[in-house]
């Protein structure tokens, strides 16, 4: 079954078909195992390069690789991308009519397809299975394999039918891929599909090209606009929690001249598709969306993901931010954290009737608040959440590590608040405690004689807003908790009591208004000629429009950036750029070289790095 699996042919295919110079972590081992006929189970983060792991062996093996993919919308993009690389690829799904399906069957019969994408439902169709039996199948690749597990977060009963594969095709290797699977889900997937002693890969979940930042939220729409002005033309996603806020933010940005489109479950399916497609094709710069958006987009040049509201849990946050920077180029993940978001989420949590579910949701909220407020490397926290230890002291790509946040000691102020709480018997809510501390002259204070409490007025040199922020900080850091409904009172936790009695200090992060360097500015080597990039981006867009393809399928941002660093002037120079394989070189190389030539002519005197292509 294996035609040629020698070392040189794998590397050669990587270069000629995909245009890449080197493998990403784990890719090579996975490919070798598949070529040797072994099953594979791989958990790799988004952007890890899973498609290449089955597309490359598919081109080397005899017969057709069957790729099972749950989303019809993704299939087309995947097939387009493969075809662009010169691979014979097709899909078969419910959106096609009988004639189109017969065409695919015919091509299968004559062994004209290297890669066939199908939805899992096909495995419930006896006719399909019969046809498949008479086809030379090289391998099965199962994408989003976690969908087979009820323990996963996206169980799809159709996936259970995939257990037929090892029974019907005992000699064909199966490779299952997912971006999310706990140990338990992993075992479940292996057992349910019936993988045979698979080669297992659990890749690191670190996404080194993502810069994580948390900023204090104030007027969030204006804050977003400011970010966009600093990142002109960059493509990105803005997440909001409610439909209304999606609409509001999208309208606001539009009124400021930004090409923004909304996406939420309240829009018609047609409008959602249209907006998603416009974003995919770089016609809309940003999409403002609820978390309903994201599954089913493969766009590799998402340069930022902004969370304008606090995410409900860390898993979601990781997944959503994970949509940035799939091409491996620097991308920015910005979370606007307002303490005011906490009660909103808590309100929904309190409405959960099942005790255990409510408890879990509440714990998850605590973790998210912790992530946003602790003075610990964001990357370390995220990875720790997935059970992965991050061993470096400084990740260099989060706000904490890059020193854009400053730590301030709030121990004394914390003691003032907690002393007021303690001296009034832990029986009052936030408003009243702040009234005591600021020395307010209210009827209630007089009635309860709280103006006689020792800390009455101890904090009158600061305003209520300030004290509110201290209380929020203490809740976020679990020095205080709120108890009781609907009138919660403040209670001091063990940690709080240690602070009150001077056994422990407490610090808060003061977010400096210093702008962190845009991710792309980090490191000299990553610079590129931005004016040329702008022009090449337009060339790419025109070509994409002519062929009705998303631009990133023609060349990724990463490829364009490299071109704008190295200024290739011949096809053989162009050939050395990452992401330029033989098929794309032939189709697009000339046009890009001409545009670079024109640009250099118009800017004569520009020095081009000489000898860059000698190697
Ligand atoms: P995943 O499915 O794991 O999220 P993809 O397969 O979509 O990731 O790959 C993400 C991006 O990385 C794509 O733009 C792809 O072309 C690119 N890529 C994959 N492998 C390599 C590699 N070895 N070198 C450079 N880029 C790669
Ligand atoms: Zn860090």
Residue 612 predicted with pLDDT over 70: no
DSSP assigned state of 58 = H
Number of Cβ within a 10 Å radius of residue 474: 26
Residue 239 DSSP SS3: strand
Torsion sign (Cα): 149, 323, 87, 97: positive
Ligand number, closest to the Cα atom of 214 = 2
Is the Cβ atom of 322 under 6 angstroms away from ligand 1? Answer: no
Rounded to 5°, the CA angle 339-341-342 comes to 75
Chain length of the chain = 615
Whole-angstrom Cα distance, residue 241 to residue 310?
8
Say what the pTM is: 0.76
Contact criterion met (CB below 8 Å) for 143 and 70: yes
Torsion sign (Cα): 277, 292, 117, 560: positive
> If you average pLDDT over residues 116-135, what whole number do you get?
92
581 φ, ψ (degrees, to nearest 5)? -90, 180
**Which of 49, 117, 235 to probe ligand 1 with, by most ligand atoms within 8 A of CB?**
49
97: its two tokens? 């009519």
Which atom from ligand 1 is nearest to the alpha carbon of 23? Answer: 23
> If you average pLDDT over residues 119-129, what whole number do you get?
90
Is the Cβ atom of 26 under 6 angstroms away from ligand 1? Answer: no
Which atom from ligand 1 is nearest to the alpha carbon of 27? Answer: 23
Is the Cβ atom of 55 under 6 angstroms away from ligand 1? Answer: no
Say if strands 489-492 and 480-483 run parallel, antiparallel, or are unpaired. antiparallel
Number of Cβ within a 10 Å radius of residue 514: 10
Task: Count Cβ atoms within 10 A of the Cβ of residue 96 and give its class: 0-12 exposed, 13-18 middle, 19 or more buried.
Answer: middle
Can you say how many angstroms the Cα of residue 39 is from the centroid of all Cα atoms in its chain?
Answer: 28
Residue 2 predicted with pLDDT over 50: no
Whole-angstrom Cα distance, residue 298 to residue 92?
19
Q: Inter-axis angle of helices 464-476 and 341-350, to 10 degrees? A: 50
- Residues 170-200 have pLDDT tens digits of 999 999 999 887 788 899 999 999 999 999 9
Whole-angstrom Cα distance, residue 604 to residue 4?
49
DSSP assigned state of 501 = T
Is the Cβ atom of 52 under 6 angstroms away from ligand 1? Answer: yes
Please give the residue that has the higher pLDDT: either 524 or 155. Answer: 155
Which atom from ligand 1 is nearest to the alpha carbon of 556? Answer: 14
DSSP assigned state of 50 = H
Residue 524 predicted with pLDDT over 60: no
- Give alpha helix (H) positions in 335-442: 341-350, 355-373, 378-385, 411-423, 430-438
pLDDT of residue 614: 57
pLDDT of residue 330: 95
- Residues 129-148 have pLDDT tens digits of 999 999 999 999 999 999 99
Which atom from ligand 1 is nearest to the alpha carbon of 81? Answer: 16
**What domains can you pick out in the chain, each with its CATH number?**
7-202 (3.40.50.300), 210-403 (3.40.50.300), 406-511 (1.10.10.10), 527-602 (1.10.150.80)
Contact criterion met (CB below 8 Å) for 84 and 584: yes
Please give the residue that has the higher pLDDT: either 589 or 343. Answer: 589
β partners of residue 405? 511
Residue 347 predicted with pLDDT over 70: yes
564: its two tokens? 């704008």
Residue 276 DSSP SS3: helix
Residue 523 predicted with pLDDT over 50: no
> If you average pLDDT over residues 214-219, what whole number do you get?
90
Ramachandran region, residue 20 (left: φ > 0; alpha: ψ -120 to 50; beta: rest): beta
**Which of 22, 42, 52, 181 to probe ligand 1 with, by most ligand atoms within 8 A of CB?**
52
- Residues 21-40 have pLDDT tens digits of 999 999 999 999 999 999 99
pLDDT of residue 346: 85
Q: How far apart are the first and last CA of the chain?
A: 37
Number of Cβ within a 10 Å radius of residue 200: 14
136: its two tokens? 């030379």
Report CA(333)–ligand 2 centroid distance (Å): 13
Is the Cβ atom of 550 under 6 angstroms away from ligand 1? Answer: no
> If you average pLDDT over residues 509-516, what whole number do you get?
52
Ligand number, closest to the Cα atom of 81 = 1
Which atom from ligand 1 is nearest to the alpha carbon of 44? Answer: 3
Ligand number, closest to the Cα atom of 379 = 2
Is the Cβ atom of 46 under 6 angstroms away from ligand 1? Answer: yes
Ligand number, closest to the Cα atom of 77 = 1
Residue 264 predicted with pLDDT over 90: yes
Contact criterion met (CB below 8 Å) for 129 and 161: no
Residue 71 predicted with pLDDT over 90: no
> If you average pLDDT over residues 155-184, what whole number do you get?
91
Residue 230 predicted with pLDDT over 60: yes
CA 269 → CA 243, 264, 274, distances in Å? 15, 10, 9
Report CA(382)–ligand 2 centroid distance (Å): 10
Whole-angstrom Cα distance, residue 2 to residue 5?
7
Whole-angstrom Cα distance, residue 129 to residue 244?
46
Residue 610 predicted with pLDDT over 80: no
> If you average pLDDT over residues 441-465, what whole number do you get?
90
| Per-residue b or e along 430-463, where b marks 16 or more CB atoms closer than 10 Å to that residue's CB | bebbbbbbbebeeeebeebebeebebbebbeeee
Helix (H) or strand (E) holding 336: strand 331-337
Please give the residue that has the higher pLDDT: either 184 or 120. Answer: 120
Residue 470 predicted with pLDDT over 80: yes
Say if strands 137-142 and 199-202 run parallel, antiparallel, or are unpaired. unpaired
Whole-angstrom Cα distance, residue 399 to residue 373?
12
Which atom from ligand 1 is nearest to the alpha carbon of 552? Answer: 14
pLDDT of residue 522: 42
Can you say how many angstroms the Cα of residue 499 is from the centroid of all Cα atoms in its chain?
Answer: 37
Residues 6 or more apart whose Cβ sits within 8 Å of residue 223:
215, 217, 336
Looking at every residue in the chain, the average pLDDT score rounds to 90
Q: pLDDT tier at 72 (50, 70, 90 boundaries)?
A: confident
Ligand number, closest to the Cα atom of 580 = 1
Q: Give nearest CA residue, ligand 1 atom 2.
A: 50
Task: Count Cβ atoms within 10 A of the Cβ of residue 400 and give its class: 0-12 exposed, 13-18 middle, 19 or more buried.
Answer: buried
Residue 64 predicted with pLDDT over 90: yes
């Amino acid at each position: 079954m294996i035609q040629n699996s020698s070392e040189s042919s794998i590397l050669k295919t990587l270069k000629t078909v995909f245009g890449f110079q080197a493998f990403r972590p784990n890719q090579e081992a996975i490919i070798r195992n598949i070529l040797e006929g072994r099953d594979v189970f791989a958990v790799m983060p988004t952007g890890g390069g899973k498609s290449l792991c089955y597309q490359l062996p598919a081109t080397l093996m005899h017969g057709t690789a069957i790729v099972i993919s749950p989303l019809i919308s993704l299939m087309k993009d995947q097939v387009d991308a493969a075809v662009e690389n010169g691979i014979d690829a097709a899909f078969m799904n419910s959106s096609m009519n009988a004639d189109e399906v017969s065409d695919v069957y015919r091509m299968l019969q004559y062994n004209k397809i290297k890669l066939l994408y199908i939805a899992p439902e096909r495995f419930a169709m006896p006719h399909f299975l019969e046809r498949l039996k008479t086809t030379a199948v090289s391998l099965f690749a199962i994408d989003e394999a976690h969908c087979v597990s009820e323990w996963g977060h996206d169980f799809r009963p159709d996936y259970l039918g995939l257990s037929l594969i090892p029974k019907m095709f005992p000699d064909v290797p199966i490779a299952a891929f997912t971006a999310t699977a706990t140990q338990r889900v992993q075992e479940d997937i292996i057992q349910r599909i019936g993988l045979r002693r698979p080669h297992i890969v659990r890749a690191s979940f670190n996404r080194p090209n993502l810069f994580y930042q948390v900023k204090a939220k104030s007027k969030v729409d204006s804050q977003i606009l400011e970010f966009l002005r600093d990142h002109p033309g960059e493509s990105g996603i803005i997440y909001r929690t409610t439909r209304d806020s999606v609409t509001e933010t999208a309208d606001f940005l539009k009124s400021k001249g930004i090409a923004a489109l909304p996406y939420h479950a309240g829009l018609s399916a047609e409008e959602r598709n249209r907006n998603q497609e416009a974003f995919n094709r770089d016609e809309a710069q940003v999409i403002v969306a609820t978390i309903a958006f994201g599954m089913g987009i493969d766009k590799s040049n998402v340069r930022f993901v902004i969370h304008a509201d606090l995410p409900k849990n860390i898993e979601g946050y990781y997944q959503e931010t994970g949509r940035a920077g799939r091409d491996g180029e620097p991308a920015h993940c910005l979370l606007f954290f307002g303490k005011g978001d906490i009660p909103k989420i808590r309100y929904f949590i309190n409405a959960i009737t099942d005790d255990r579910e409510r408890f879990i949701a509440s714990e998850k909220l605590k973790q998210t608040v912790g992530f946003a407020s602790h003075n610990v490397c964001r990357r370390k926290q995220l990875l720790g959440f997935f059970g992965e230890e991050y061993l470096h002291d400084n990740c260099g790509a989060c706000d904490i590590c890059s020193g854009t946040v400053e730590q301030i000691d709030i121990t004394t102020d914390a003691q003032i608040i907690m002393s007021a709480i303690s001296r009034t018997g832990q029986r009052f809510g936030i408003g009243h405690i702040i009234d005591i501390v600021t020395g307010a002259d209210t009827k209630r204070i007089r009635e309860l004689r709280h103006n006689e409490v020792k800390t009455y007025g101890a904090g009158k040199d600061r305003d209520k807003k300030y004290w509110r922020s201290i209380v929020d900080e203490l809740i976020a850091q679990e020095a205080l908790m709120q108890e009781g409904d609907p009138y919660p009172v403040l209670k001091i936790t063990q940690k709080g009591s240690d602070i009150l009695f001077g056994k422990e200090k407490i610090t808060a992060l003061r977010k400096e208004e210093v702008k962190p360097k845009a991710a792309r500015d980090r490191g000299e080597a990553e610079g590129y000629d931005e004016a040329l990039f702008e022009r090449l981006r337009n060339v790419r867009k025109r070509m994409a429009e002519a062929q009705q393809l998303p631009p990133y399928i023609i060349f990724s941002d990463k490829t364009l950036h490299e071109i704008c660093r190295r200024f290739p002037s011949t096809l053989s120079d162009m050939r050395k750029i990452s992401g330029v394989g033989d098929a794309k070189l032939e189709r697009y190389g000339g046009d890009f070289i001409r545009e670079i030539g024109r640009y250099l002519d118009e800017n004569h005197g520009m020095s081009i790095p000489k000898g860059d292509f000698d190697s």
